[in-house]
A and B are shown apart, each in its own frame.
Chain A
Amino acid sequence: MSPHLAQTRVAITGIGILSPLGRGEEATLDAIRHARSGIRAIESIDASELTCRIGGEVPREAHQGLQRGQDRFSRFALIAAEDAAAGARFGTIGIEGERVGVLIGTGLGGCETLDAGYKRIYRDGATRVGPLTIPMSMYNAASSAVSNRFGAKGVAYSVVSACSSGAHAIGLAAQAIRSGQADAMFAGGADAPLTFGIIRAWESMRVLAVDNDHPDLACRPFSVDRKGIVLAEGAAVFVLESFENARRRGQPILGEIIGFGATSDAGHVTDPSADGASRAMRMALRDAGIAEGEVGYINAHGTATHANDSTETRAIKEVFGPDAHRIPVSSTKSMHGHAMGASGAIEIALSLLSLNAGLIPPTINLVTPDPECDLDYVPNAARSGSAKVFLSNSFGFGGMNAVVAVRTRAGGE
């Protein structure tokens, strides 16, 4: 890829975010400002038989009054899309439906629906499952729900790349606008994997932080006493449109998607490689047409596993050299957990909202840094400051990496 200086620029004009930290900008920034964890005892299912009974659950009051006939992950996507559309004043966007697309990534799709169906068949001995099991559980259900809700008749599909799904979706959506395939896109990620069966499966991988007595302390990225991943759920959706269109209608531009890098480790299915990660970061920088020195913040994938944290640190140093120590790098998963295919979207949204508000988000629970992890992880408290450009890293199981480069409001137009 080469710098695309003359092509259509992609403006972010609406942000919807629904995470364990709450719904919307105010709730999210309040949690960032106070370095507050959203990890709690799981309440949405009966978790009593599980070994791991904590997670990053979206607070119940943040998703009340949801429509029926949709899986939990699609309902989350609809809420986030609704908020993004309101912020972007989508009703005044002035783009015909055929030129509006939808791209919602998900790692695991309709887990709630499948779990309920399997429970009926295998545990309860039922001979039939709910008639909407297929349309509710399919991976493109969230994209379909958003498309139907907003009359988006253009390019629409879903992207699946485990924990990178949301970042891939946003990168691809930006490319759809750059290439002229669409003039506006709803883009983001959604996942709701806190079901009995999925948590059991993660328990078997032995990578979960099982700290049922202290959920808020469970997720400790880059810390030598880290305990592993905390599963989470949520969604974030952006309204993206061409700069030209946003300017024409006088809509405030919240940020710009300037670059997208995507690579595969082509190595091990679950052990990440620094090479795959660093190539993705370099590709995003090249695509954005910017130099390493212009990056002012990195939102790390930062899962709080040894494999990720040390490899990601190494990859950042490979790309930025000695300059790596200058750049604040944080894992906000320490606060909201790992929302799988939603995480990339949630983290881009959270980073942009924070930086636009003059806050650099922290990595909480970082008491004793791992000696292999020696960057500035913004430990334990948000910092005043901003960045003109930031990177958001997402590295999925399967070795699939996506990095999105974003220009903030401070980066100017």
Chain B
Amino acid sequence: MERTELEKKLIEIVRKEKDIPDEKLTPETLLADAGIDSLDALTILFAIEEDLNIHIPDDRARAMKTFGDMADAVADQLK
């Protein structure tokens, strides 16, 4: 999957769980700044894993601070 295609897909999944405005959906945005708390993050990652049939390791999940980190972790699993 191309990176832009992946990011589009992730935005789609994130939006299903949480209503986040466009300007907050950048790779640099901290999840916390987008109003995503720890349980929201778990739910979003679960939806991503289910949708793409991947498994993101716990240490990568715990280290995630931004949407960019999220996209990187997913991209690594799709390699």
A130→B50 CA distance, assembly (Å): 10
**CB nearest to B40 among chain A residues:** A69
Min CB gap A127→B, angstroms: 8
Q: Note all chain B residues with C-beta closer than 8 A to A128.
A: 46, 49
The size class of the interface chain A forms with chain B is: under 10
Taking CB atoms, residues of chain B closer than 8 Å to A131 are 39, 42-43, 45-46
**In A122-140, which residues have CB < 8 Å from any B CB?**
128, 130-132, 135
Q: Is the CB of B42 within 8 A of A132?
A: yes
B46:A130 contact, CB within 8 angstroms: yes
What is the chain A residue whose CB lies nearest that of B17?
Answer: A68
Instruction: Give the interface SS of chain A, mostly helix, strand, loop or mixed.
Output: loop
- How long is the Cα–Cα vector from A132 to B42 in the complex, in angstroms? 8
Cα distance, A279 to B5, chains bound together (Å)? 70
Q: Could you tell me if B39 and A132 are in contact, using CB atoms closer than 8 angstroms?
A: yes
Distance of A78 Cα from B42 Cα, bound (Å): 23
CB distance from B51 to the nearest CB of A (A): 13
Contacting residue for A69 out of B39, B45, B46, B49, CB 8 A: B39
Bitwise interface map of B from 63 to 79 toward A, beta carbon under 8 Å scored 1, else 0:
00000000000000000
Are A135 and B46 closer than 8 Å at their CB atoms?
A: no
Cα A391 to Cα B43 with chains together (Å): 45
Q: How far is the CA of A132 from the CA of B40 in the complex (A)?
A: 9
Residues in B38-62 with C-beta less than 8 Å from chain A: 39, 42-43, 45-46, 49
In Å, the complex CA distance between A69 and B49 comes to 18
Q: What is the CA–CA distance of A132 and B45 in the complex, to the nearest angstrom?
A: 12
Closest CB in chain A relative to B20 CB, distance in Å: 16
Residues of the A chain whose Cβ atoms lie less than 8 Å from the Cβ of B45 = 131
Q: How long is the Cα–Cα vector from A69 to B17 in the complex, in angstroms?
A: 10
Contacts of A130 in B (CB 8 A): 43, 46
Chain A min CB distance to B54 (Å): 12
Q: State in angstroms the CA–CA spacing of A218 and B43 once bound together.
A: 41
For residue B50, give the distance in angstroms from its CB to the closest CB of chain A: 8
A132 x B49 contact (CB < 8 A): no
Instruction: Report Cα–Cα, A130/B46, bound state, in Å.
Output: 7
Cα A131 to Cα B40 in complex, Å, equals 10
Interface residues of B (CB under 8 A from A): 39, 42-43, 45-46, 49
In the complex, 8 of the A-B residue pairs with CB atoms within 8 angstroms, ordered by the A residue number, are A69-B39, A128-B46, A128-B49, A131-B39, A131-B42, A131-B43, A132-B42, A135-B39
